[in-house]
Structure 1
Amino acid sequence: MANIELTRFRIKKGKEQTAQEWMDFLNRHHQDTVATMAGEKMYVETVFKESNPDGYTYFYWYSIQGIGGNAVEDSTSYIDQKHLEYWEECIDETYRPVDMVVEQSLLAPLIEQAIKQSEQ
């Protein structure tokens, strides 16, 4: 039905302010950002920020995404292009992202039905 993910990414040292600018950019362009979700079959996307005692900042990406959506890398949207620029600048590629394992998930029947209908 849908792919549910929670992944932890580390922000490069010295890029914490740029990472915050990234989130501020997405929030300022909320309507345009939400508009990109349909083509990706992205139903829910939430980012959490953690300032860890190890001195690093981490972003946790939580998403519920349908099968067969377009990849963000293939998008021509200015939102997605800017998103990828920030990603390249801020995400520490030397750190192996931590993918959390879904042990249990509850979706209200109304939400589950809406997802199924959108995939038909």
Structure 2
Amino acid sequence: MTKIELTRFRIKKGKEAKAQEWMDFLNEHHADTVATMAGEKMYIESVFKEKNPDGYTYFYWYSVQGEGGNAVEESESYIDKKHIEYWDECIDMEYKPVDMKLEESLIAPNIEKVIERDA
């Protein structure tokens, strides 16, 4: 079964530049970042940024993931280790992440076949 998620996380005040550094790091190491996805059974992972009128910056994490993948916390990849460092420094754990409710998902049949084959 495929899990599709969209979650909103708040960035700690004063950590906005560090959070941007984090996204820049992932983009600058794109090939190595994508290489970590297979073990996680992560098919799509996208991050959106919002500067909210409340003065906070929010990251919206969208993902399409299969079952039984490895947890990022268990990875030995330098990408994942750095990813967790940034996460711990930037994500405001006092704010309860907002999990958006999925109402509809359309996946092209050829993409669905690839996901099913991998499962």
Q: TM-score, normalised by structure 2?
A: 1.00
User: Residues 57-89 of structure 1: CA distance to partner in whole angstroms, max 9, x if unpaired?
Assistant: 000000000000000000000000000000000
User: Residues 76-113 of structure 1: CA distance to partner in whole angstroms, max 9, x if unpaired?
Assistant: 00000000000000000000000000000000000100
Q: Distance in 2 between matches of 1:5 and 1:78?
A: 25
Residue of structure 1 in register with 2:102 after alignment: 102
Q: Distance in 2 between matches of 1:91 and 1:5?
A: 18
- Percent identity, aligned pairs only, is 75
Give the secondary-structure state (helix, strand or coil) at the position aligned to 2:58: strand
Residue of structure 2 in register with 1:87 after alignment: 87
Question: Which residues in structure 2 correspond to 1:22-41 (within 5 Å)?
Answer: 22-41=22-41
- Structure 2: 5+ residue runs without aligned partners? none
- Structure 1: 5+ residue runs without aligned partners? none
Aligned length: 119
Hey, which bits of structure 1, 4+ residues long, moved more than 3 A?
none
Residue of structure 2 in register with 1:118 after alignment: 118
- 2:70 aligned with 1:70, yes or no? yes
How far is the alpha carbon of 1:35 from its aligned partner?
0.1
Note the aligned Cα RMSD (angstroms): 0.3
Give the secondary-structure state (helix, strand or coil) at the position aligned to 2:3: strand
Residue of structure 1 in register with 2:15 after alignment: 15
Q: Distance in 1 between matches of 2:24 and 2:2?
A: 28
User: Residues 24-65 of structure 1: CA distance to partner in whole angstroms, max 9, x if unpaired?
Assistant: 000000000000000000000000000000000000000000
